[in-house]
Amino acid sequence: MVGVTSQQLYQSEQILSRETTEAEWQSTQTNSELDNDSDYEPNISCRKRKAKAQKVQKAKRARKTGIAAAQPAKSQRFFRFLDLPPELRNHIYEIALSDTQPVSLCEGWKKYRRIARRQHVRSYHETIATSTNSFVPALLALNKQIHVEAVAVLYSNEFVFADTQAMYNFLAQIGSHRRFVRYITIKEWGWGNGTHKAINHPAMTLLCDAVGLEKFKVSCTFCSHNSKRIAERLYRDGHHWFEAVGHRMKNKTAVFEILEVPKPDINSRYYHSRRYGRSTTEDLKTTVFEELAKLLERK
């Protein structure tokens, strides 16, 4: 066996020591990196958890605030509207469903359906009025009892129609509620050879169901001051309604208590004609009714 000198032993110890030191240093670096990674990842997840917790807390506070707002105070007391006295309910209906100004309606469309929509209506010689007041017809949709009690209040307003087409759309739309209508004014009578003139008769015929009608005012001109022509046009388009009123009142001329004929057209050449002369509104009304009475007696 070959002998080992002391110098060789020393060198071997130095090499082993260096290898051990390098291994320990590498192990230390690896552990340090692992420690750094483990420290970094929990920090990220911790921030995420904090952010999520903050969101949850905000949501809880929002829910609590909403619940607190929705819940009435213990001191508040509620009552049923229908428990109010009838006189007080009627007063509320008048405030919510009555308008201080006439309700002006014109022809309109909604979802491809012909309707009557609210709008200020004026004739050519009138000035523009102030904006219309708003009321709440949706009140009728609360329940059946309120509908029964308040429907007559809504339709007791004075309705002003731009023309007979608007009146036809309105009367056809309200159906059986036509019996509650009390005041109607027409601003323009259909004329020509098209649909405007053709709608006059069906619009006037729907008035047969308006048994509560108290006033029907024709606030337009017929481009004529001839009472006979005016009477013929009114009778041609409204004879069904005239006869229905006469049959109900047992008087053929009872419609004269409801009907108001138009004023003379001062801009028409007929107004200044020597043939017809200048008559007052009352004279025209009298002569128109006289001509209408003759037509009603013929049947």
Task: Give me the DSSP letters along 163-221.
Answer: SHHHHHHHHHHHGGGGGG--EEEES----SSSHHHHTHHHHHHGGGG-TT--EEEE-S-
**Cα Dmax for the chain:** 163
CB 166 within 8 A of CB 196: no
What's the pLDDT score for residue 191?
Answer: 76
Structure tokens at 85: 């006295």
What's the pLDDT score for residue 23?
Answer: 60
What's the pLDDT score for residue 263?
Answer: 61
What's the pLDDT score for residue 54?
Answer: 82
User: Which helix (H) or strand (E) covers residue 48, if one does?
Assistant: helix 6-70
Structure tokens at 60: 């809880």
CA distance between the termini of the chain: 157
Which residue do the tokens 């359906």 mark?
Answer: 113
Separation between Cα atoms, residue 244 and residue 241, nearest integer Å? 5
Angle among Cα 288, 294, 295 to the nearest 5 degrees reads: 90
CB 107 within 8 A of CB 166: yes
Q: Please name the residues in contact with 169: beta carbons below 8 A apart, sequence gap of 6 or more.
A: 107, 108, 114, 115, 116
Give the start-end residues of each E strand in the chain.
103-110, 113-118, 158-161, 183-186, 215-218, 259-260
pTM reported for the whole predicted model = 0.66
What's the pLDDT score for residue 150?
Answer: 94
Q: What is the mean pLDDT of each run of 10 residues along the chain (299 residues)?
A: 56 62 59 49 67 79 64 67 91 90 89 84 48 74 92 94 94 95 92 77 96 92 74 92 94 93 57 47 73 86
What's the pLDDT score for residue 109?
Answer: 87
